[in-house]
Amino acid sequence: MFEENRILSINKNLLVSIVDLMKQFVPIFDALEFSTVPTIHIVVPSYYAMIAMVQLDGQERPAIKILKENIQNTLDTKYWESIMQIHWIATYLDPSFRELSFVTDKAYRTTQLKSIKEGLIIMATDIEHERKDHNDSLIDPQPSIKKSRIEGSADPFAQLRAVSSEPTKLSIKDELFAELSHYSKLSYSTTSKNPSSLLLDFWRTNEQRLPLLSTIAKRILVIQGSSAESERHFSAGGAIVAENRNRASASTVESLVVLRECFINDQWPDSSTESDKSKSQTDDNNTTSTPDIVSL
- In tens digits, the chain (296 residues) has pLDDT values of 556 666 667 788 889 999 999 999 999 998 888 767 888 999 999 999 999 999 998 888 999 999 999 999 999 999 999 999 999 999 999 999 999 999 999 999 999 999 999 999 999 999 998 888 777 676 655 555 555 555 545 677 777 666 555 566 778 999 999 999 999 998 887 666 667 678 888 999 999 999 999 999 999 998 887 655 555 555 655 555 554 555 667 777 777 777 777 777 776 666 555 555 555 555 555 544 444 433 33
> What is the per-residue pLDDT for 290?
42
Q: Are 207 and 214 in contact (CB under 8 A)?
A: yes
Domain-by-domain residue ranges, the chain? 1-135+166-225, 227-270+291-296
> What is the per-residue pLDDT for 293?
36
Say whether pTM exceeds 0.85.
no
Burial of 39 (0-12, 13-18, 19+ CB in 10 A): buried
φ and ψ of 48, to 5 deg? -65, -35
Can you tell me the distance from the alpha carbon of 153 to that of 187, in angstroms, rounded to the nearest whole number? Answer: 55
> What is the per-residue pLDDT for 291?
43
> What is the per-residue pLDDT for 80?
95
> What is the per-residue pLDDT for 26?
93
> What is the per-residue pLDDT for 9?
72
> What is the per-residue pLDDT for 294?
38
